[in-house]
Amino acid sequence: MFSPNEQTESPNHPALQMRGISKSFGPTLVLKKVDIDLRSGEIHALMGENGAGKTTLMKIAAGLIDDFEGDILVEGKPHRMASPRDAARAGIAMIQQELSLVPELAVDENIFLGQEKVRSLFFVDREQQVRAACEVLQPLDFHGRIDLPVAKLRVGEQQLVEVAKALVAKARILIMDEPTSALSINETERLFQVIRKLAKEGVAIVYISHRMEEVFAVADTVTVLRDGQHIGTLSAKVASRREIIRMMVGRELQEMIASGKSETTAQKPVLEVQDLWLENPSPTAARPLLVQSVSFTVAGGEVLGLAGLLGAGRTETLEVLFGLHSGTSGGHVRIEGKEVHLLNPVAAKASGMALVTEDRKRDGLVLGAGIDRNAELAVLRTIAAFGLVSTEGEVELAERTIRDLGIQASSPRQLAGTLSGGNQQKLVIGKWLLTRPRVLLLDEPTRGIDVGAKAEIYRLIGTLAEQGLAIVLVTSELPELTLLSDRILVLREGRPTALLNRAQFSHETILEFASPGGSVQPAFAEMEVAQ
């Protein structure tokens, strides 16, 4: 891996101290005299609901926000972080939740941006740089091509590049903001191994996450913020899930549990999928197709979960169903018994489908537009008269969406980009519900939102199922998958390996069918032999 700078924490001083940190955005006070200490070799989880101030506090430490009140000490010495360069000089690096990669540059060029491997004054030694990039990515189990622009990588692969970029900076204080938000289970565990190794080498790590199971798996200490204030700091070894949730939300949160979900009454299939396939743009003998021989049915009121590791073909399956790969995909799809030809998203929407994409900020919303403009996007053709949309109509749609989905907003015209993650996600779902779909495709619907917002999304999914929608769910969080699903179809390298009912749900069983070299149910094994 790497060795941190030789300078280590003084025995009398934490690696990082933040004292009395306050920050306002306009009239809104988002941090109120917050104190936090971070020690060398410590993995310190920072938790709180969206808007609690976690990311703002750490952006101040990383020099990304320079207008604040309070003091920062690194190894006992005062520092004023006026820029990321100042933070880097102090040994602080931050991996932000919103990726900061340059899309047009290759993987190695992003990792070594600003510290390129050069063989002379004007020339970059790409061969040496690629070798070095491979070396830092190898422990992260990165399988993408080093020479590709990062824009062509999947979100999970881009996240690994961000991690590698921070690792080569050799920071003594490393801040990770939702680093596993797009990673598979295996990649997350490998990242944990890297984090633990760094901590053993003396690196102090701040780990921001909404995923409670991750915090208990990797953290030594947990600090909770609520409404911009420091609520408490606990040892992760003695803290309970219930206690942390109460500290985060200020009340007891009655969470939905898997055993509380009743079996779905058998109904006629709303969605029938047979022999779905998608070409692989870079085919190999082991993986000629990205999606191959995927078949399933979903009844009205049923939630079918798609399980699998990163690259298993879950997102691609949803994309094929929504007509995003016309010309390079095929199969038979029926909605309420009628065969449909999904040539493009317009045809998919007309057939009764809706897709909530995994990246809401890139693919789901226009962040610079208001709630009203975003709400109308999926139904624009049906509400426009002679190419014009009335202002009253826009506001009415937005108010209905705000009311029906419980979106917390100051007005129907509030910019989507200023909403919290949970409210953004509800807006995306609400936008598609205006189309009155029969089939709802959900790709990572709770990615990057806090525990309170997750509970609201869970209740919304349950309500939509009760109303008779057929729902296909992709999520990388196994507790969430088993909580919400009635049945689970497991994919491995583009092929189905198992179809599980609720009585068969367990994390171990799902991973056994999802992992390379794992088991395959007899029905799916026979399909492979037949082909």
- 3-state DSSP of 435-486: CCCCEEEEECCCCCCCHHHHHHHHHHHHHHHHCCCEEEEECCCHHHHHHHCC
Which residues are bridge partners to 223 per DSSP? 46, 233
Give the per-residue pLDDT at 531: 56
d(CA 257, CA 307): 19
Q: Where are the beta strands (DSSP E) in 280-390?
A: 289-299, 303-307, 329-335, 338-340, 353-356
Type of residue at 314: R
Strand ranges (DSSP E) for 88-191?
Answer: 92-95, 173-177
**Tokens standing for 302?**
């049923």
What are the Cα distances from residue 356, in Å, to 176, 465, 471?
Answer: 26, 15, 11
User: Contact, 17 vs 73, CB < 8 A?
Assistant: yes
pLDDT for 43: 97
Where in the chain is CATH 3.40.50.300? 16-100+171-249, 258-530
pLDDT tens-digit profile, the chain (531 residues) = 333 333 444 445 799 999 999 999 887 788 999 999 999 999 999 998 767 889 999 999 999 998 999 999 999 999 988 998 899 889 999 988 777 789 999 999 999 988 888 877 778 888 899 999 999 888 777 888 898 899 888 777 887 888 888 888 778 999 998 888 767 677 788 788 889 988 998 999 999 987 788 899 999 999 999 889 999 999 999 988 888 878 887 754 444 433 345 555 557 899 999 999 999 988 888 788 999 999 999 999 999 999 998 789 999 999 999 999 988 999 999 999 999 988 899 999 999 999 999 888 888 888 898 898 888 888 877 666 555 666 677 788 888 889 888 888 888 889 988 988 888 989 999 899 999 999 999 999 988 777 777 888 898 999 999 999 999 999 988 888 999 999 999 999 999 999 999 999 988 889 889 888 888 999 898 766 455
Would you state the pLDDT for residue 95?
A: 87
pTM for this one? 0.64
Model pLDDT, residue 511: 83
Residues in the chain: 531
Cα–Cα distance between 212 and 218 in angstroms, integer?
A: 10
Q: What is the pLDDT of residue 254?
A: 46
Written as six digits, the tokens of 122 are: 């004007």
Q: Can you say whether residue 102 is alpha, beta or left, with left for phi > 0 and alpha for psi between -120 and 50 degrees?
A: beta
Class assignment of domain 258-530? alpha beta
233, two tokens: 């700091």
Bridge partner list, 338: 335
16-100+171-249 topology per CATH: Rossmann fold (3.40.50)
Contact 248, 451 (CB under 8 A): yes
